[in-house]
Structure 1
Amino acid sequence: MAFQSTENYIVSAELALAVNAAVTLEKPLLIKGEPGTGKTRLAEELAQSLGAELIQWYIKSTTKAQHGLYEYDAVSRLRDSQLGSERVQNIANYIKPGKLWQAFTAAKRPVLLIDEIDKADIEFPNDLLHELDQMRFYVHETGEQIIAVARPIVIITSNNEKALPDAFLRRCFFHYIRFPDAEVLRQIVEVHFPQIRQQLLSTALEIFFELRELPGLKKKPSTSELLDWLKLLLAEQIPPEVLQQQQQQGGLMPMFGALLKNEQDVQLVEKLAFIAKRQGR
């Protein structure tokens, strides 16, 4: 396997190398990076390029490692017992397979995405160590052992909201997705908007990077937010001349709500524009 950029997804040479290395080593690939840099999309494109099933496990603050293995519905079994149902004779009727179970028993090697692992409790990654290492786990209620038919390709994403345990990190191949430079970002945009005018794209990218570099910005706009902004500019047929004029004047650009996501950043841009005007810019 040699994963590389697809028609719909541009990857750097470093990211492609990381994917291929993790697959060769049969280790989970831990991907970190700013929100909106395509971490989740990577798993989707990898699965599509391999013709493999994508099994997605979205992590929440309440998610436990056990949820990925299976869940035992004791309440339903108790209710059925009270109603005299014959289903209670087979405890397997109350076992719900989790995402790891689905990945382990897939007929063809799947891609398993464990998305935003840093949202869960700090013990969550450690609780998965044995299963990800051994590719097997034990179902205590039935005495069954689930063993992976084929070792799934595991992609784990993190927004770096909290540190992950060293023991977990040792078992992963790590890659940090750097924010793309102007040339890579241009390629990404042209994948999504192949007919975009180059003058509009150049002006938009210049404004976008100026905005990201503003000191004190609470949330820098991401790649996905740039794409949303361009989609709106194209839908409203805003010409590049309007963007250039707004850039020279300073302040909020058209459709700024696609790029700025909190009132502090909106106020910051307005304040800097006001100061620039007072200084005779």
Structure 2
Amino acid sequence: MKFNGTEQYVATDDLTVAVNASVTLERPLLVKGEPGTGKTELARQVASALGLPIVEWHVKSTTKAAQGLYEYDAVSRLRDSQLGDERVHDVRNYIRKGKLWQAFEADAKVVLLIDEIDKADIEFPNDLLQELDRMEFHVYETGETVRARHRPIIVITSNNEKELPDAFLRRCFFHYIRFPEAETLKRIVEVHHPGIKETLLATALTQFYEIRETPGLKKKPSTSEVLDWLKLILAEDLAPKDLARDTRSLLPKLHGALLKNEQDVALFERLAFLARGRG
């Protein structure tokens, strides 16, 4: 199995090396990078390229590692026992399979996405160490051991909101998705907006990188945001000259697609005010 990107996903050489190394080593691929750089989509495109189904586990701040294995619904069983339901005699009726269980029992190899692992409690990664290492876990209510029929390809994403434990990192193959350079970003744009005029794209990307590199910016616009911005530019049928920034505020056209908080909007307004003062 070799991943080389897809028609819908532009993968750099170092990213394809990371994916294929993870598959060869049979270790989880831990992918970090700015929000909006395609970490989650990578797992979906790996599944598509290799012709495999995908199981997605989207982690939240309240998610516990045990939920990925299974959950025992004791409340429903108690209620059914009070109602005299025959289902109560088989505890399996009250066990809900988690995403790891679904991936382990699949009839063929799957891609398992554990998305935004850094959102959860700091103990979350440690609680998964044994299951990801041994590819099995014990179900205490039934006494059975669930073993992976086929070792899944595991992609774990993180936005770097908190540090992950060393013991967990040791078990992963790591890759950081850097923000794409101009040429790579052009290729990405061409995938999503084929046929965009070269002059319009050059003007838009020049302005985008100027905005992104502005000192003091709280949240730099990402790949997904520039794609949204270009979609709006094309929908409005704007020409390169229409993208000229307002000298009173230095804000780009349709800036709401790029700037996501009032501090960054105010920053450009202050820069414009200072520029007028110097003028």
For 1:49, the equivalent position in structure 2 comes to 49
Mapping of residues 190-229 of structure 1, within 5 Å: 190-229=190-229
- Tell me the matched-pair count: 279
Give the unaligned 5+ runs of structure 1: none
Q: Structure 1 residue 120: deviation in Å?
A: 0.3
CA distance in 2, matches of 1:227, 1:67: 35
Q: Are 1:262 and 2:270 matched, yes or no?
A: no
For 1:122, the equivalent position in structure 2 comes to 122
Spell out, residue by residue over 1:206-246, the C-alpha distance to the aligned partner (whole angstroms, 9 max, x if none).
11110111111000000000000000000011111111x32
Q: Structure 1 residue 248: deviation in Å?
A: 7.3
For 1:235, the equivalent position in structure 2 comes to 235
Contact 1:113–1:155 (8 Å) recurs in 2: yes
For 1:144, the equivalent position in structure 2 comes to 144
Contact 1:32–1:160 (8 Å) recurs in 2: yes
For 1:93, the equivalent position in structure 2 comes to 93
For 1:276, the equivalent position in structure 2 comes to 275
* Residues 1:247 and 1:192: Cα distance change in structure 2 (over 3 Å): farther
CA distance in 2, matches of 1:250, 1:10: 35
SS at the partner of 1:202?
helix
Q: Letter of the aligned partner of 1:225 in structure 2?
A: E
TM superposition score normalised by structure 1? 0.98
Moved over 4 A (4+): 247-250
Contact 1:116–1:159 (8 Å) recurs in 2: yes
Q: Letter of the aligned partner of 1:272 in structure 2?
A: L
CA distance in 1, matches of 2:231, 2:276: 30
Contact 1:207–1:247 (8 Å) recurs in 2: no
Mapping of residues 133-172 of structure 1, within 5 Å: 133-172=133-172
* Residues 1:248 and 1:181: Cα distance change in structure 2 (over 3 Å): farther
Contact 1:54–1:112 (8 Å) recurs in 2: yes
Q: Letter of the aligned partner of 1:144 in structure 2?
A: E
CA distance in 1, matches of 2:226, 2:273: 25
Q: Letter of the aligned partner of 2:269 in structure 1?
A: E
RMSD: 1.0
CA distance in 1, matches of 2:49, 2:28: 18
Give the unaligned 5+ runs of structure 2: none
SS at the partner of 2:151?
coil
CA distance in 1, matches of 2:246, 2:107: 55
